[in-house]
Chains A and B, each alone.
Chain A
Amino acid sequence: MSEVKTVENMVSITIDGTTYQAKEGEYILNAARANDVFIPAICYLTRCSPTLACRLCLVEADGKQVYACNAKVKDGMEITVDTPNILEERRAIMEVYDVNHPLQCGVCDKSGECELQNYTLELAVDSQSYAIQDTKREVKNWSTVLHYDAALCIVCERCTTVCKDMIGDAAISTTKRGGEPLDKAYKETMPKDAYAMWNKLQKSIIAPSNGTDYTNCSDCGECTAVCPVGALTGRDFVYTSNAWELERVPATCAHCSSGCQIYYEKKHTSVFDRSEKIYRVTNEWNYVSLCGAGRYGYDFENRVESKDEAAFSAAVEAFKKAETIRFNSVITNEEALMLQTLKEKMGVKLVNPDARAFQKFLGAYAKAAGQSLYSYDFKEVMATDFVISVGASLRNDNPNARYAFNNIQKMNKGAGLYFHPVGDNLVPTFGKNVELFTHKVGLEEAALYLVLDLFADKEKLLEDVKSYLDSFKTTTTKTVKEKVMKDVTETVIDEETGEEKQVTKKVPEMVEKEVTVEKNALVEMLGKESDAFDAAFEKMMKKKESFSMIIGEDLYFHDRYENIAKLIALIEQTTPIRVAMIPPKTNSLGVALICDLDDEATGYTVGYNENGDFRLSALGNGDLDMPAMNQQEGTLTNMHKRVTPTNAALEYKGYELNDLMKVLVGAPELTVDWTEKLPVSKGFKRAKFDDLPNGYLNDGTENRGYALENITCEAEVVSVEKIDENGVLEGEIVYRCNPQRQFNDFTDKAHEIFEGFGLYAAPEKAKALGEKVEIDFGDRSITVDVIEDDRMEGDITALADFKSEADVYSLFGPSRYRKVTIRKV
C-alpha cells in the first residue's frame, strides 16, 4: 500500500540559531509548533487555509519578512522569530486589537482562556497609542446553539475559516460593520502591517453568510470552539460557569463511529445541588473537529441513586433464561467482549443488526483483499487529493467523513465524486470539482464499475471484467464547434512614417468539426450525461496524485454486499485508490471484530438498550439500569481503526454489566480489566486500560489508545459478478437515515439537540406529504411526522432510526432502502 502514500521528506531549518527537522512543504508555523518553538499567531488554524487576518506570525526567513502561517519551509532556511521591526509590528497589532476591547473582562465566558489576553500579556502591551470611536455591535443568537457577541469579536476569521475549510457549511462570513474610517494620520505613523490589519478589522464583522440573522447550518459548534475570545459561544453555556471551575475529563465521543476525542467539562450542578453535571464539551480543535452531536449531546447520563437488588436478581434470572441478547453498537469493546463471553459460556445468541451487516461485509472484503481491515483511516483520506464517496449519506452518516471530503476540496485543490441516490445540495458546494451522481437505488455496483473503468490499470484487470467494462462503451460521431486561431496577414500603413507594413495577427475563428465521442453507458445509467462528465472528469484529474474512497452503510445493507465487497477489493488491487469504510454506528467495528453475531433473535430476549423481554437500559427506562457512556470507562474502536479510551465523567451508583458477569460466569474486578483480554487475533493489543494515552501531540500526532493491527492473509483472485439491475427500486422510496446531530437514543435525550424523530424530506416533497404520514412497509407500518430538510433534494424520503423503541431497523430489514406506500394522516 505504501507506494500510494506520499513519502514526506524532511528538511532542516534553523530557528533562532537552533537547527530543527521539518516536513518538506510544511508552513513555517506548523514546523515550529511541531518542534515546540513558539511563534505568536492568532488567526491560523491547523488543517485550514491561512487567512492572514492577524499578521502576528511575522518572522524573518532568509532575510525577508514573511508570515509564518503561509510561508513554506525550505531546506536550510534561516528563521528569526523576533527582529526589532517585527517586535514593533507585533506590539502595534496587539495594541490595535485592544482598542475598544475591554481587558477588564469580568464576565466573559473565556474566563482567562483568552488568546487576546494572553498575547496582550505576552507582548507586554501596557499602554495604548491608538484610538477610534466604537460602533454599536449587537449580541445575536444565530441558531439554537450559537451566541455571538459582536462587541468582543476581533475578526480573526477563525470561525469562518473552520466553517468553510473543515465543516463545509460556509455558513458565516465577514461582512461590513459600518465602523468609523481610520484617521489618515495613522497611515504614516503606524507600522505597516498593523495599519493594514486594523483597516480591515475596523470595517468587518461576522454574520451568517445567507444574509439573514440565522445561520441555518449544521450546528456543529466548531466555530465556537475555535474562537480565541469570548465572542462566539454556545448559547446554553453563556454565563453559566467560569472555565477554571470546570474539571476536564478526557473521553471519546460515543455517538458515531468517528470516535472523536472530547473533554467533558463538569462541576457541581448548583449551590444547592452538589451532584456533578457536564456543562460543555470541548475539543482539541487544531486536530479534531466535532459535530453538533458530540458537542451538544452530552447530558445523556443515567442518574441512578442506588443499587436496585431486586432488579439485579431479576436480571440474573433473565440472563439465565435468555436465548438471545439484543444490543446495539453504542457499547464499549469491553462490554462487547463480556457479551461474547456469555455467548461462549452460556450459548446465547447475540443480535446486533448494524454490526452484523458490517461484519458480513468486512468478512467478504477481508477474504477478497487479503487483509482483515480496510486500507485507509480518515486522516489518510484527508491527505489525498481525489476522493470518491459511495453508499454513504455523507452529511448524515458520519460528520468526520464529510469533513474529510470537504477538506480535500478546500486544502488539497482536490476533486470528488459523490454517488448517492438521495440528492443533496450541500455536497456540491464543497468545491468546484465535485460531481454528484444521484443515481437510482440499487445501482451501487454500477458506481463501483464506473470507478474501476475510470481508474483501473486495465492490464491488471481480468479479461471478463475488461470486456464487461468495454461493453458499456459506444462511439458516435458528433459535430462540435471549436475555436481555432487563424493567422491573418494584413497590410497596414504606419501612421508616423507613412510606410506600408505587413502585419500578421492571430484571429480566433469558430469552425465546425466532426469528432468521434465515446459514450459510456455506465455514466448514463448513473444519471449523468456521458460527454459532459468526460469533460468534467478530465478537469478533475488534473495534477492529482493520491486517491481515496469512502464507503458507507448503504453497501453493507445491500442484497449484493458480497459482490460489492469484492468490487471494492478489486478497486484496491487495480487502481491507486485506497478505501476507508464508515462503520454504521459508534462501535460497530469493535463489535464486528469481537462478537460472533447471529442473524435472528429467537426465544426469550434480553435487550441491552434495545427492545427485549427483559431490558437493560442506560436510558433509565428499562428493567435494570445500566451506566450511560459518559458514566463508563472502557475503550471504543473507531472508524480510524483505533482503539481509544473513554473515561467516566459522571458518577454512577447502580449495577454494571460486569456485576452481572461476576454472578453469571465470573469476571474480573473492574470493567476495564477486560481491556487486555480483547482478541489479539483480531488485531487488538494486550494493553492495559490505564496505559492507554488520550491526547494529541504538538505536531498533530494522534496519541490516543492504539491502532488496530491490519492482519494480512493470502488474497484470493477476485472474480466479480456483473451489475444486477433487478435490485433497482423505483417509486415511493424511504431511506433509513438519521438527521444531522442525531445518532441514537442518547443524542435524542440531550437537551440541546432538537432534531425530531420523523420522516425527513426535501422541501417540495415535504409540502406534498403534509404534516403527518403513515408509511406502509407491507407487513408493518409506522406513523410519523414529516420534517422538512432543505438540504435534501429529490423524491426519496429519509426515516430516522435513532429511536430504538421505534425499531426502524427491523422495518427495513436487510436494506437501507425500502419501497413503501405513504399515506397522509
Chain B
Amino acid sequence: MGLEQFKNRNVGQQEYVMLDLEHTPQSPMGKFKQVVKRTFKPELFVGLGVTMREMINALFRGQMHTIKYPFEKLPISPRYRAIHEMLRLLESGHYRCIGCGLCEKICISNCITMDTRYDENQRKEVSEYTINFGRCIFCGYCAEVCPELAIVHGQRYETASEQRASFSLFEDMLTPIDKLNLQQEYDGFGAVTPNADENIKKTPLAY
C-alpha cells in the first residue's frame, strides 16, 4: 500500500445508487389519495395470512424455529470456551491431571491455584485445585497448554454469579465417576490435530 492510499482515511469506495422513488405528493388531494391507496391494499391480509400459516406450522406441525431457553439449549461448537471440565482416563477412571502446574502458570488472569503432594504410590497427587471463575476470562490457554487433555472447556456457558469471586473445586469440574461413559472427548482448544500422527517423529526401538 502506498503512503497516499495509507493516508486516505475514506477507506470504502462510496458507490451510492439513487433509488427510483416516486415523488412525494405535494397537493392535499394527492396526499389524501396516497393514504387511501395504502390503507386498502390487500397486502395487510397477505401478512396476516403468513403469520397464521406459520403459527399453525409451529404449533401443530412441529416446525418450531426458536428454542425454549432455559429449558432447551443450542448445541455449541466444540471450539467454544465455556466453563472448564476435568476429564478422567477412560481405562482406569483416574483423573487425567498429573499436577504439572502448567495451567496454573499460563493462566493469564491468575485464577488457577493448586496444591500437590507426593502420594503413597510415588505419584504426584493433586490435593487441591481451584479456578476462580470470577476472574477467568475464558481465554482457553489452560486447555491449550495442558499436556494431558485433562482440563478442557465444557459446554456450560452461563457464568453469571452472585459474587465477584466464584470458585470451583476439582471435584466440581471432574467428570463424575458414574458418568464416565458419558464423558465426551474434547475437540476444542489444545486438542490433538487430526493429522497429529504424521507430525510425530519416532524414536528408535532397538529391542
Contacts and interface: CB of A to CB of B under 8 A. Distances in A.
Bound pair: A and B?
yes
Interface of A: 104, 106-107, 111, 126-133, 139, 180, 183, 238-242, 244-245, 268, 270-272
Contacts of B116: 239-241
Contacts of B205: 131
A272 B128 contact: yes
B99 A239 contact: yes
Contact of B101 (A128, A245, A271): A245
Contact of A131 (B118, B129, B207): B207
Given A126-B201, A131-B207, A245-B105, A107 B124 contact: yes
B98 A106 contact: yes
B203 A139 contact: no
Contact of B147 (A104, A133, A244): A104
B130 interface: yes
Contact of B148 (A106, A130, A239): A106
Contacts of B123: 107
A534 B94 CA distance: 71
Contacts of B104: 242, 245
B204 interface: yes
Nearest to A133: B207
B113 interface: yes
Contacts of B201: 126-127
B121 to A, nearest CB: 11
Given A242-B105, A270-B115, A131 B147 contact: no
Contacts of B117: 239-240
Given A270-B115, A271-B113, 15 more contacts: A106-B98, A106-B102, A128-B204, A131-B206, A132-B207, A133-B206, A239-B118, A239-B124, A239-B125, A241-B116, A242-B101, A242-B105, A245-B105, A271-B115, A271-B128
22 contacts: A106-B147, A107-B98, A107-B124, A127-B201, A127-B203, A131-B207, A132-B206, A183-B206, A239-B116, A239-B118, A240-B116, A240-B117, A240-B118, A242-B101, A242-B104, A242-B105, A245-B105, A268-B113, A270-B115, A270-B128, A271-B114, A271-B129
B122 A128 contact: no
B100 interface: yes
Minimum-distance CB pairs A-B, first 6: A106-B100, A271-B128, A131-B206, A133-B207, A131-B204, A107-B124
B7 to A, nearest CB: 45
Nearest to A235: B118
B203 A131 contact: yes
Contacts of B115: 270-271
A130 B203 CA distance: 8
B185 to A, nearest CB: 20
A132 B207 CA distance: 7
Most chain B Cβ neighbours within 10 Å, of A183, A244, A271: A271
Contacts of A245: 101, 104-105
A126 B128 CA distance: 36
A104 B205 CA distance: 18
Contacts of B204: 128-131
A780 to B, nearest CB: 46
Contacts of A132: 206-207
B22 to A, nearest CB: 73
Most chain A Cβ neighbours within 10 Å, of B102, B122, B206: B206
B120 to A, nearest CB: 12
A241 B114 CA distance: 9
A104 B104 CA distance: 17
A238 B99 CA distance: 12
A271 B132 CA distance: 11
Contact of A111 (B98, B101, B125, B206): B101
Most chain B Cβ neighbours within 10 Å, of A106, A127, A238: A106
B205 to A, nearest CB: 6
Contacts of B102: 106
B95 to A, nearest CB: 14
Contacts of A129: 204
Nearest to B128: A271
Interface string B79-122: 00000000000000000001111101100000001111110001
Contacts of B130: 271
A416 to B, nearest CB: 41
A758 to B, nearest CB: 31
Contacts of A242: 100-101, 104-105
Nearest to A274: B113
A107 B117 CA distance: 11
Nearest to A104: B147
B112 to A, nearest CB: 10
Contacts of A244: 105
A126 B200 CA distance: 11
Contacts of B99: 106-107, 239
A104 B147 CA distance: 9
Interface in B157-182: none
A272 B114 CA distance: 10
B207 to A, nearest CB: 4
